[in-house]
């Protein structure tokens, strides 16, 4: 059932591309009918750099919208990043879920999240060094980290879609939540909603950001691998958190136009042509 759902949604995500090159080393592709935006960032481009939300407040970060974050920094491209807690909550001070580093400061670690239907234990992060060398990092990584974004799980591995499989313990039928909502026959990853992903090409010379208005994780992952050369990818926070900002304008976000305050966002700085 899940494979069929991915196939249907990935076919729905196919369509005519409109690509622009708003900044040096940056290609923005929009599939309007699919509600899909893909931003490819070439790490060899001059003047390129990344920045994650800096740690602050009494926890790890203070929530703000990706739009406000991007405009204050005068960054060229920004996307929402980590899952966070407490959620749902009106509290603005938050803990990030998973590994995080900003400008060489490592301030959130690998962990076993309390929420198990979406978040995988010790999920890898995407690391970009100060010299724009990119790769995936897992719990055994011992080097210095510069900019790191982590999500719920790795969903593309060596060019193949790798959606997590639930491990049955107390419930052979796969019910993992008090609501009895998710299992291998009805995975959280198969829910069609807004999604945000970050990926890397095999040569590690492109970082690929993707947001979609409504799709499954597997479908977006399949499109990134098939059409954009993504070799490894991580699923970031989605739903009402999904936000993509290009040149100061929110090009993907809630239909209401009111972006959610999130605990972290990733900024890309690039030169204009």
Predicted confidence (pLDDT) per residue in 26-60, tens digit: 999 999 999 999 999 999 999 999 999 999 999 99
If we measure between CA atoms, which residue out of 215, 217, 197, 216 comes closest to residue 207?
197
Residue 240: count of CB within 10 angstroms of its CB: 17
pLDDT, tens only, 174-198? 555 555 578 777 889 999 999 999 9
pLDDT, tens only, 214-227? 999 999 999 999 99
pLDDT at 170: 47
Task: Write out the residue range of the structural domain in which residue 108 sits.
Answer: 2-269
Question: Percentage of the chain with pLDDT > 90?
Answer: 81
Number of structural domains found in the chain: 1
User: Is 11 a residue whose pLDDT tops 70?
Assistant: no
pTM of the model: 0.92
Residues near 256 by beta carbon (within 8 Å), at least 6 away in sequence: none
> What are the tokens at 261?
């305050």
pLDDT at 9: 61
């Amino acid at each position: 059932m899940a494979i069929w759902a991915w196939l249907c949604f990935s076919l729905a995500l196919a369509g005519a591309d409109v690509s622009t090159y708003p900044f040096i080393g940056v290609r923005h592709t929009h599939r309007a009918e699919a509600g899909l935006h893909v931003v490819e960032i070439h790490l060899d481009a001059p003047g390129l750099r990344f920045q994650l939300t800096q740690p602050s407040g009494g926890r790890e970060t203070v929530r703000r919208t990706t739009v406000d974050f991007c405009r204050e920094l005068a960054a060229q491209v920004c996307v929402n990043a980590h899952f966070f807690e407490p959620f749902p909550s009106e509290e603005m001070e938050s803990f990030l879920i998973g590994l995080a580093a900003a400008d060489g400061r490592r301030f959130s670690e690998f962990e076993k999240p309390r929420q198990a239907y979406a978040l995988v234990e010790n999920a890898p992060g995407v690391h970009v060094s100060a010299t724009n060398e990119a790769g995936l990092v897992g719990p055994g990584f011992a080097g210095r980290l510069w900019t790191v974004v982590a999500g719920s799980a790795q969903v593309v591995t060596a060019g193949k879609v790798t959606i997590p499989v639930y491990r049955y313990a107390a419930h052979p039928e796969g019910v993992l939540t008090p609501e009895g909502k998710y299992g291998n026959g009805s995975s959280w990853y198969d829910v069609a909603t807004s999604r945000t992903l970050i990926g890397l090409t095999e040569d590690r010379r492109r970082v690929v950001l993707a947001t979609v208005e409504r799709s499954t994780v597997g479908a977006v992952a399949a499109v990134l691998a098939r059409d954009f050369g993504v070799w490894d990818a991580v699923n970031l926070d989605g739903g009402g958190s999904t936000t993509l900002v290009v040149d100061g304008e929110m090009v993907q976000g809630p239909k209401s136009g009111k972006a959610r305050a999130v605990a972290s966002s990733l900024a890309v700085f690039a030169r204009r042509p």
